[in-house]
Amino acid sequence: MRGNWSCPPIWQRPDLRRQLWSGLLPILLSLVCLSSASLVAQPTPPAPQPAEVVGNDLEARTREALKPGHPGLDVSAMLEYYSRTSPDIHAEIRTRVAGGDAAAYLGRLAEHYVRLDRVRERNPAEFERLLALDLLESRARMLGRLILQLSGAPAEGDAAKDSAAAVGRAKDELRGVLERAFEGTQQNQRIELNRLDAELRTMRRLLDERASKRDQIIRQRFLELCGQELPTPLTPPVVKGEAPP
């Protein structure tokens, strides 16, 4: 008996098929809705950001970028200078090196640093003045960012009062920094103008001395060129505005 009993397959019983589908259909619909919702709600992953470049890797990649235009530059000293005087510029260096588009930006920074290094060797006092200006400019940029950040941040009640007070203090400091930077720049330009004026006076004196030795210089050159003394008297120099004799 056991071996002769059999259970008809479910697809041969229409009544069972209807019951099965009536029970499974809501479940299937629920699963489809959940899958669609998860696909819609899932946020798009952000684009990968370049990893920050630091330490020896930053120095090596900066040196590689500057090699064509500044092969002998002390890159380590340059990075140390900007890290000490302009942290925002140093941070921008790291960002651009990581992004791979740093060559032009680094070239401008390198030219500025090379000029400063030459001034440091020639005139330490002038270098200190230029260094102070770089520090002031860095402080001014930092204060400008702070004012923008505080001004754009929503605040209410006491927080709004504190934010307004902080903005006022930052603006006052920024004004003072810009005034000091202006005066420092004016001082440097006056010093440079005085230096050029002194060089001009020296050049005029040398020119007058050379003019007074006109005959001697010409006779000496004549002797050097042909090995003989100049046989005739020299023609007197023509003064501008006068006819030659």
Q: At what angle do helices 103-122 and 87-99 cross, to 10 degrees?
A: 140
CA 197/CA 142 separation, integer angstroms: 37
Q: What angle do CA 64, 65, 68 make, to 5 degrees?
A: 85
Q: Rounded distance, CA 114 to CA 122, Å?
A: 12
- Position 241 scores a pLDDT of 61
How confident is the prediction along the chain (245 residues), in pLDDT tens digits per residue? 444 444 444 434 455 445 544 554 555 455 444 444 443 444 555 555 555 565 689 999 999 999 999 999 999 999 999 999 999 999 999 999 998 888 999 999 999 999 999 999 999 999 999 999 999 999 999 999 999 999 888 877 888 888 899 999 999 999 999 999 999 999 999 999 999 999 999 999 999 999 999 999 999 999 999 998 888 776 766 656 655 55
- The confidence score (pLDDT) of residue 102 equals 87
Whether the model clears a pTM of 0.75, i.e. scores above it, the answer is no
- Spatial distance between the Cα atoms of 86 and 114, rounded to a whole number of angstroms: 16
pLDDT of residue 20: 45
Q: Which amino acid is at 218?
A: I
What is the reported pLDDT for 2? 44
- Per-residue 3-state assignment (H helix, E strand, C coil) for 135-182: HHHHHHHHHHHHHHHHHHCCCCHHHHHHHHHHHHHHHHHHHHHHHHHH
